[in-house]
């Protein structure tokens, strides 16, 4: 077995595990925020005067009665269920996946000499160090005592600075994923460093027979709400590599920031809706961002003449077939990359639009320009596509 083949299996296993644990984590986050916002306060059917709110629900053919205590019950029940391993394993599998895909291919996916003169080792070191740096900055901001509005304002400025800084240091695709990994690290660290320790302190106080500190619960709730708002932006960065038009442009930093806002707006609308409050304006704002980005990023027709299939085919055979073939020769492609094969005229014609988009419009192919496609060759492909992408 080749090294590339083994790495593909590792990639698949980690990606599958990351998706599974991520669904579990995000699902529990969405559910408990929904539960908090849907509680009847005061409770309708409390089992104890210490209950702050309750909720009745029906699901899977049964009825459920959930209750939330003001701080903690008089006696802790057994067993007491915790929600933490979903977060931990989502981060662990995500970081390992980032390592296998981006650190192992830093020269192609993380580094772009046209963006910054940074070597592979330096890019990887910067990526790793940014993870704890982002957490300490965010945690310090949370502990600063700023009002909610001030925290939001400063936080948005920092996110904008992050988007700009990352896209000036890493390749566009790598910058988007680095932003996602940093946000995911904040979320996991919130669970590890704040939420779970606060809950453990509440449990320990009850076990000692001491009054539980309500401030601990409030601190944990704050971080849980932050995680809730970060989920959609993080999910977006995870799927962004599939859409080169997002990151392969000079305004990619603004695209990243605006989609971050749109995701937060959508999440806010859901939270308002769960309180039976009107907030359609947030949805309209998110849709407006999407429409504006679609219009701004629309490809422009390339200038120039036309080219024949023979001219285009010479470029494709020299620059593309090493990875996109039934029998690839490039060491990073044990099988045809993305399932795209360009061995025959029929296959080339079938993938004409994709060839034009990736090699001419976004210039993200060849990957990291490993086969050194020239501007003249890109112009030939543009001319061939403008001529109707003939296959003979």
Cα 336 to Cα 347: distance, rounded to the nearest angstrom:
13
- Token digits of residue 178: 């680095």
**pLDDT at 64 (0 to 100):** 94
Cα 141 to Cα 194: distance, rounded to the nearest angstrom:
14
**pLDDT at 249 (0 to 100):** 86
CB atoms within 10 A of CB 316: 24
CB atoms within 10 A of CB 205: 16
Q: Where are the alpha helices (DSSP H) in 3-79?
A: 3-38
**pLDDT at 358 (0 to 100):** 87
**pLDDT at 337 (0 to 100):** 82
Contact 168, 115 (CB under 8 A): yes
**pLDDT at 22 (0 to 100):** 96
Q: Between vectors from CA 173 to CA 87 and to CA 117, what angle results, nearest 5°?
A: 120
CA distances 319 to 316, 355, 362, 371, 390, Å, are 5, 11, 16, 5, 19
Cα 186 to Cα 130: distance, rounded to the nearest angstrom:
11
Successive 10-residue mean pLDDT values, the chain, 392 residues: 76 95 95 94 87 94 93 87 94 96 89 90 97 97 93 96 97 95 97 95 89 89 95 95 87 96 96 92 96 87 74 92 87 78 91 89 80 88 90 82
Q: pTM of the prediction?
A: 0.87
Q: What are phi and psi of 23, to 5 degrees?
A: -60, -45
3 state DSSP class of 53: strand
3 state DSSP class of 40: strand
**pLDDT at 262 (0 to 100):** 97
* Cis? peptide before 79, omega within 30° of 0: yes
Cα 196 to Cα 83: distance, rounded to the nearest angstrom:
9
């Amino acid at each position: 077995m080749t090294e590339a083949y083994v790495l593909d299996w590792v990639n698949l296993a980690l990606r599958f595990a990351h998706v599974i644990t991520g669904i579990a984590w995000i699902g529990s986050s969405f559910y408990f925020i929904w539960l908090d916002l849907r509680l009847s306060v005061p409770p309708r059917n409390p089992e104890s005067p210490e209950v702050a709110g309750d909720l009745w629900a029906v699901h899977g053919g049964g009825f459920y009665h959930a209750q939330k205590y003001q701080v903690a019950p008089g006696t802790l029940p057994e067993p007491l269920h915790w929600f933490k391993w979903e977060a931990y394993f989502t981060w662990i599998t995500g970081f390992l996946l980032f390592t296998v895909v981006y650190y192992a291919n830093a020269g192609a996916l993380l580094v772009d000499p046209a963006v910054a003169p940074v070597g592979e080792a330096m890019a990887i070191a910067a990526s790793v160090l940014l993870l704890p740096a982002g957490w300490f900055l965010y945690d310090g901001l949370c502990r600063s005592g700023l009002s909610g509005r001030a925290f939001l304002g400063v936080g948005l400025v920092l996110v904008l600075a992050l988007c700009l800084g990352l896209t000036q240091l890493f390749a566009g695709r790598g910058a988007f994923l680095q932003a996602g990994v940093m946000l995911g690290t904040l979320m996991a660290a919130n669970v590890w460093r704040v939420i779970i320790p606060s809950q453990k302190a509440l449990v320990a106080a009850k076990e000692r027979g001491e009054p539980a500190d309500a401030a601990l619960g409030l601190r944990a709730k704050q971080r849980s709400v932050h995680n809730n708002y970060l989920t959609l932006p993080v999910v977006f960065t995870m799927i962004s590599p599939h859409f080169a038009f997002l990151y392969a442009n000079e305004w990619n930093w603004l695209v990243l920031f605006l989609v971050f806002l749109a995701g937060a707006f959508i999440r806010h609308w859901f939270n308002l809706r769960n309180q039976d409050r009107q907030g359609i304006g947030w949805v309209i704002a998110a849709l407006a961002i999407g429409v504006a980005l679609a219009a701004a990023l629309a490809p422009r027709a390339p200038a120039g003449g036309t080219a024949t299939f023979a001219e285009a085919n010479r470029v494709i055979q020299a620059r593309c077939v090493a990875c996109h073939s039934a029998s690839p020769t490039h060491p990073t492609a044990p099988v045809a990359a993305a399932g795209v094969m360009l061995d025959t005229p029929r296959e080339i014609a079938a993938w004409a639009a994709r060839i034009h988009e990736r090699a001419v419009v976004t210039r993200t192919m060849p990957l990291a320009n490993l086969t050194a496609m020239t501007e003249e060759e890109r112009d030939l492909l543009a001319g061939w596509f403008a001529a109707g992408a003939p296959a003979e």
